A and B are shown apart, each in its own frame.
Chain A
């Protein structure tokens, strides 16, 4: 499992709707803001890259010190962004794919308003479990 990893889901109107520190070193020695600052800035790069490729998984789009930002863009232009220090690209890809399945389940919930904050604790638990599994 990665030392540091910050996972965030950004809705299509650029608002973060889910955020989680999923690294094993979640001791917050580096605050989540710093991670969010990096992820927010990386959105610009994602905007550029997302339209140049058919792939959903954009791999590492940005680097900050030894941290990389990997991004997965869903068909609805919801972006899964992961700030991580591990190099396990396949693991990250699987992580993203499984999270997308979870996200689709959230979307199927008739009481869930699209682009609203994901507050489901079940989703949170699942995402953290996936992070432990793949990252």
Chain B
């Protein structure tokens, strides 16, 4: 589109001319240009320049040849730039009103102007320029001037120069008048010509077309698009009719001219339609245009001109569509494909036209190339040299030759032969390929954006071919690669074949033997069965370098590749000078993975016959290969690679010498097998079965199989399991016999390329013993013994692990509040110690020793069969918990570094609390201090223990064996928490069961009696904790055990001063009928006078003397004694009369407890045999 002249591309703009007053021209022209619609201005500074407006003197010769062409090249630009529709003559007012000489000058100027405009219909307008608005002009003068100029009153205007609002107003008036005049002018001009058309007063078709064109252009000037379109169409139609009839020019040039004019007319038509938003009509017009000219190829020599022209039509239309895409309504696409619209959505895409433009340009290039290659010499012979100084003539689509004859320059018409030569030489100058590539790229990008990958790939493919043509093989290869991947994916074999053919050729030219082999092999293995016998000699253009896809071509390709890898050279088909070869120095290796298209060439499936195998024992291994190449292929050597390199082996063709194979293999220790022949027929599995032995436990996987063909070509295939093998994408749907990779169909469905090599069986005993439940606090010992049975143990390592038996893994409580304490493990592995510390092996074994709280590693010394090694695991429970103990021993059965064997044992151990400790506080017998806060506290509200200050209380601690094993108590004591010398109380062990190793059977109790005497008054007195030292009652001679200390804290007690202490005194027993004394002693511990009341009730068992009710005062720090004499009346255990002591000050009453007031009454005097000293000690202790 850019090639078109500007006046053709843009809509026409009216032209007016202004003469005189040059200082105003800038203002006027910019104002007019800014108007809507704009008006262009041709500014002439003074009246002497008006001759440019005058009609050129017609050449008498050319006027006679009025029909020498259809459209004049410069007619449009003439009306755009040189012929104004109206002329505005500017005069200054002072010139008009001035002296007569000036007036005369004005008159002369006007006359001249009128003479120039005469007969051309150009309108005249006179403008008087005032400097200021108040300058008044005589009306008579105006009339005179108007008459001189022969114009209407309204075409004489005033322009005020220096008054901005006034100036603006005048300019607006001027522009509207000018617009009106232009309109009139163009309408009149158009009408004049239209009359000629209507009267058919033209001598030739050419003139008819020219007239129609002119009418249309004038209509465009007036913005009468409908009429413009009608006349352009009319012109187009007339032109189409002319094709067969005109004889004016030699045939070739005639066609060229007609096409050029048609192109211009069509351009106008489509522009008008597209700008009017009539896309469908534009496209329909385009199709009509294309259809009416597509067969006008012309002579063979100039057919390239035709294709060039067609291509340009598409290109221009595409560009038009692209630029006017904004005008295309969005609703358009909705009714595509419906009966009302035969258009498809793709036809409004510029890419569609770009693509076709490129196609036709390609066609042009082919024609041109054919012409140049075949008829080059012939043409130059017949038609001589290319004519010189050929230039476009005055008519569109015509060329002429300039001939200089002396000073005269003459324009001569060309003969057809000369024109063809000229056109050829012009065409050769252009690099069509770049143009084609650019067009295809544009289309391709556009299609990609439209999510039409196939259309895009068609463009890419063409683009790649063009690159190939221009010998840019790198770019061509890149594009062909992307294109072929789409065809490969969608399974379009024929298209893939062709793309690969190009790629093959590219790789030869790029000197890449590897690529060449890959492409060739892929092509050879494509499912093509056609018999391509009829190949036409000129097939290169249609088929590409690969030729017709056929079975025979496939076979040829295969043999070509095989000869290449066996050392021959392959020569490029397009350029004989290019060749590739595979040499020993540059061996070729092709890798085939599971997504490679080359799986068709060689597919390897491997299967172990078993799921798992013992180390060292052989397992059957089947290797199956299949190829889809059209002919059988012989492999020289197969190399099978495993993930355990020791298992790798090589299969060689028995035909080859083993020594030869060995000589080129560098590693001598690789196992070599022979097979009678390794030949792969088409689509038939070659199955080879061998034994594989692995000594290393773990996974054994076949990784790849490499086939060597010839000396320097290898193809390495990733091994696949038959169970998970994918079908070949191209061959999946071919009707062929389905075969299995292995003979055994079960193996074909379930076979795996991986096998598990098991660990060797351990032949070592690992014994864990635990006698009984573990007790919290003790360090529980688990003996562990390693006894080699069949294996010797080398570099053994023992791992111990403690895991919560109830799951959860960790042996600590997340709720543990103290995270800094190291003892937050409930169960702890304390040590692993060698049992029977006899020799230096202990030092050796402790070399590796890592112990954490729940994990330990210890190394085991080398052991021979018959040796024995044992150790003790010391584990301590802090909380009762059930724990799994895992022990695993890893060792090597022989001293060389080989597979390790592991033995695992586990044991569940229950942790129990061994002893539960309880305690009680008591007052001394028959002694009762008054504790005021205890009296005031609600009964049962708190569990606090109240002790009286400076009074002796009795603490009884009971330890109960809650485990199932007998324990021995070594000692029991109360340990104070604070410093010894400042103890706020004194505690003494006063009695209980003897703690010297006393046996505590399960469920049995051990009691200790302590006397407690608080020394300070404190509401929260810590009494320390009970420490019980015990150990298991082991009958074994394990006496060095120091025992376990179980500690339990005593609760804090409340100590307070008691104001009154009541003690009852009476003999331990009484005898029936014999009176005895009963004292109630109340001692006042305060510095106050205390008043008490007391009473003694009657009972049946006793009679007494003394007051029933009485009251008394106790002096400070004094004691008040009430004494009664009682006579028992009944024998047996009897209740003394109920005594009640009430302190008036504290309103507290004391009723001695039943046990405290019980006395045993003997019927007669009993006889006791009690050792005196013992009696004394007991009494002494009690009185403390």
Which residues of A does B touch, CB under 8 Å? Answer: 11, 13-17, 19, 28-34, 36-38, 40-45, 48-49, 52-53, 58-62, 64-66, 113, 115-117, 119
- Check A36/B337 contact, CB under 8 A, given A30-B542, A49-B344: no
Whether the pair B534, A28 counts as a contact (CB closer than 8 A) is yes
B452 interface residue (CB < 8 Å to A): yes
Q: Which residues on the B side are within 8 Å of A13 (C-beta)?
A: 490-491
- Contact string, B587-600, partner A, CB cutoff 8 A, digits 1/0? 00000000000000
B176 interface residue (CB < 8 Å to A): no
List B439-489 residues whose CB lies under 8 Å from chain A.
447, 452-455, 457-458, 461, 487
The CA of A11 and the CA of B733, in the complex, are separated in Å by: 11
Most B CB contacts (10 A, CB to CB) among A28, A29, A40, A64 go to: A40
Q: How far is the CB of A55 from chain B (nearest CB, A)?
A: 9
The CA of A128 and the CA of B344, in the complex, are separated in Å by: 29
Q: Taking CB as reference atom, which chain B residue is nearest A14? A: B490
Q: Taking CB as reference atom, which chain A residue is nearest B501? A: A33
- Check A28/B536 contact, CB under 8 A, given A33-B495, A49-B344: yes
The CA of A60 and the CA of B497, in the complex, are separated in Å by: 28
B543 interface residue (CB < 8 Å to A): yes
Q: Which residues on the B side are within 8 Å of A45 (C-beta)?
A: 344-346, 452, 455
The CA of A52 and the CA of B820, in the complex, are separated in Å by: 74
Q: Which residues on the B side are within 8 Å of A66 (C-beta)?
A: 294
Whether the pair B539, A31 counts as a contact (CB closer than 8 A) is yes
Whether the pair A43, B454 counts as a contact (CB closer than 8 A) is yes
Q: Taking CB as reference atom, which chain A residue is nearest B498? A: A33
- Contact string, B538-549, partner A, CB cutoff 8 A, digits 1/0? 010011100011
The CA of A73 and the CA of B342, in the complex, are separated in Å by: 18
Contact partner of A49 (CB less than 8 A), chosen from B337, B534, B536, B549, is: B337
Whether the pair A33, B534 counts as a contact (CB closer than 8 A) is no
Contact partner of B458 (CB less than 8 A), chosen from A17, A41, A60, A116, is: A41
Q: Which residues on the A side are within 8 Å of B458 (C-beta)?
A: 37-38, 40-41
Q: Which residues on the B side are within 8 Å of A53 (C-beta)?
A: 337-338
Q: A37-B461, A49-B337, A58-B337 are in contact. List 8 more A-B contacts (CB 8 A).
A: A11-B733, A28-B534, A33-B498, A42-B454, A44-B447, A44-B455, A49-B336, A117-B735
- Check A117/B542 contact, CB under 8 A, given A14-B490, A37-B495, A48-B345: no
- Contact string, B322-360, partner A, CB cutoff 8 A, digits 1/0? 000000000000001110001011100000000010010
Most B CB contacts (10 A, CB to CB) among A11, A36, A115 go to: A36
Contact partner of A16 (CB less than 8 A), chosen from B346, B455, B491, is: B491
Q: How many of B's residues come within 8 Å of A, CB to CB?
A: 40
B734 interface residue (CB < 8 Å to A): yes
- Check A34/B455 contact, CB under 8 A, given A28-B536, A49-B337: no
The CA of A41 and the CA of B29, in the complex, are separated in Å by: 55
B366 interface residue (CB < 8 Å to A): no
Contact partner of B735 (CB less than 8 A), chosen from A42, A44, A116, is: A116
Q: Which residues on the B side are within 8 Å of A15 (C-beta)?
A: 490-492, 733
Q: Which residues on the A side are within 8 Å of B495 (C-beta)?
A: 33, 36-37, 40
Q: Provide a sorted-by-A list of 11 A–B residue pairs whose CB atoms are within 8 angstroms.
A: A13-B490, A30-B542, A31-B548, A44-B453, A45-B455, A49-B345, A52-B336, A62-B344, A62-B346, A116-B733, A117-B734
The CA of A29 and the CA of B495, in the complex, are separated in Å by: 17
Q: Which residues on the A side are within 8 Å of B345 (C-beta)?
A: 45, 48-49
B801 interface residue (CB < 8 Å to A): no
List B371-413 residues whose CB lies under 8 Å from chain A.
none
- What is the interface of chain A mostly: helix, strand, loop, or mixed? mixed
Whether the pair B457, A36 counts as a contact (CB closer than 8 A) is no
The CA of A61 and the CA of B548, in the complex, are separated in Å by: 28
The CA of A106 and the CA of B359, in the complex, are separated in Å by: 39
Q: Which residues on the A side are within 8 Å of B491 (C-beta)?
A: 13-16
B494 interface residue (CB < 8 Å to A): yes
Q: Which residues on the A side are within 8 Å of B346 (C-beta)?
A: 45, 62
Q: Which residues on the B side are within 8 Å of A31 (C-beta)?
A: 539, 542-543, 548
Whether the pair A115, B454 counts as a contact (CB closer than 8 A) is no
The CA of A117 and the CA of B729, in the complex, are separated in Å by: 12
- Check A41/B455 contact, CB under 8 A, given A33-B542, A48-B345, A49-B337: yes
The CA of A13 and the CA of B733, in the complex, are separated in Å by: 12
The CA of A81 and the CA of B282, in the complex, are separated in Å by: 28
Most B CB contacts (10 A, CB to CB) among A19, A31, A59 go to: A31
Q: Which residues on the A side are within 8 Å of B542 (C-beta)?
A: 30-31, 33-34
Q: Taking CB as reference atom, which chain A residue is nearest B549? A: A33
The CA of A14 and the CA of B488, in the complex, are separated in Å by: 11
Q: How far is the CB of B1036 from chain A (nearest CB, A)?
A: 81
Q: Which residues on the A side are within 8 Å of B453 (C-beta)?
A: 44
Q: Which residues on the A side are within 8 Å of B356 (C-beta)?
A: 64
Q: Which residues on the B side are within 8 Å of A30 (C-beta)?
A: 542
Q: Which residues on the A side are within 8 Å of B344 (C-beta)?
A: 45, 49, 61-62
The CA of A11 and the CA of B455, in the complex, are separated in Å by: 18
List B491-509 residues whose CB lies under 8 Å from chain A.
491-495, 497-498
Contact partner of A41 (CB less than 8 A), chosen from B294, B457, B494, B497, is: B457
Q: Which residues on the A side are within 8 Å of B549 (C-beta)?
A: 33
The CA of A115 and the CA of B548, in the complex, are separated in Å by: 25
The CA of A52 and the CA of B498, in the complex, are separated in Å by: 34
Whether the pair A32, B735 counts as a contact (CB closer than 8 A) is no
The CA of A24 and the CA of B62, in the complex, are separated in Å by: 55
Q: Which residues on the A side are within 8 Å of B536 (C-beta)?
A: 28-29
Q: Which residues on the A side are within 8 Å of B539 (C-beta)?
A: 31
- Contact string, B513-547, partner A, CB cutoff 8 A, digits 1/0? 00000000000000100000010100100111000
Whether the pair B543, A33 counts as a contact (CB closer than 8 A) is yes
Q: Taking CB as reference atom, which chain B residue is nearest A48? A: B345
Closest 8 CB pairs of A and B: A15-B491, A31-B542, A44-B452, A116-B733, A41-B458, A14-B490, A44-B454, A119-B735
Whether the pair B454, A40 counts as a contact (CB closer than 8 A) is yes
- Contact string, B677-707, partner A, CB cutoff 8 A, digits 1/0? 0000000000000000000000000000000
The CA of A100 and the CA of B494, in the complex, are separated in Å by: 24
Q: How far is the CB of B323 from chain A (nearest CB, A)?
A: 23
Q: Which residues on the A side are within 8 Å of B548 (C-beta)?
A: 31
Q: Which residues on the A side are within 8 Å of B733 (C-beta)?
A: 11, 15, 17, 113, 115-117
Q: Which residues on the B side are within 8 Å of A38 (C-beta)?
A: 458
Q: How far is the CB of B97 from chain A (nearest CB, A)?
A: 74
Most B CB contacts (10 A, CB to CB) among A13, A16, A48, A66 go to: A48
Q: How far is the CB of A110 from chain B (nearest CB, A)?
A: 14
The CA of A38 and the CA of B294, in the complex, are separated in Å by: 20
Q: Which residues on the A side are within 8 Å of B543 (C-beta)?
A: 31, 33
Q: Which residues on the B side are within 8 Å of A115 (C-beta)?
A: 733
The CA of A17 and the CA of B734, in the complex, are separated in Å by: 9
Q: Taking CB as reference atom, which chain A residue is nearest B338? A: A53
Q: Which residues on the B side are within 8 Å of A48 (C-beta)?
A: 345, 452
Q: Taking CB as reference atom, which chain B residue is nearest A61? A: B344
The CA of A19 and the CA of B336, in the complex, are separated in Å by: 29
Whether the pair B492, A41 counts as a contact (CB closer than 8 A) is no
Q: Which residues on the B side are within 8 Å of A19 (C-beta)?
A: 494
The CA of A36 and the CA of B527, in the complex, are separated in Å by: 16
Q: How far is the CB of A123 from chain B (nearest CB, A)?
A: 12
The CA of A113 and the CA of B447, in the complex, are separated in Å by: 34
The CA of A52 and the CA of B934, in the complex, are separated in Å by: 98
The CA of A41 and the CA of B460, in the complex, are separated in Å by: 11
Q: Which residues on the B side are within 8 Å of A61 (C-beta)?
A: 344
The CA of A34 and the CA of B462, in the complex, are separated in Å by: 11
Q: Taking CB as reference atom, which chain B residue is nearest A112? A: B735
The CA of A8 and the CA of B1103, in the complex, are separated in Å by: 136
Q: Taking CB as reference atom, which chain A residue is nearest B532? A: A28
The CA of A53 and the CA of B338, in the complex, are separated in Å by: 8
Whether the pair B337, A32 counts as a contact (CB closer than 8 A) is no
Q: How far is the CB of A117 from chain B (nearest CB, A)?
A: 5
Q: Taking CB as reference atom, which chain B residue is nearest A19? A: B494
Q: Which residues on the B side are within 8 Å of A41 (C-beta)?
A: 454-455, 457-458
List B548-562 residues whose CB lies under 8 Å from chain A.
548-549
The CA of A59 and the CA of B542, in the complex, are separated in Å by: 27
Q: Which residues on the B side are within 8 Å of A32 (C-beta)?
A: 494
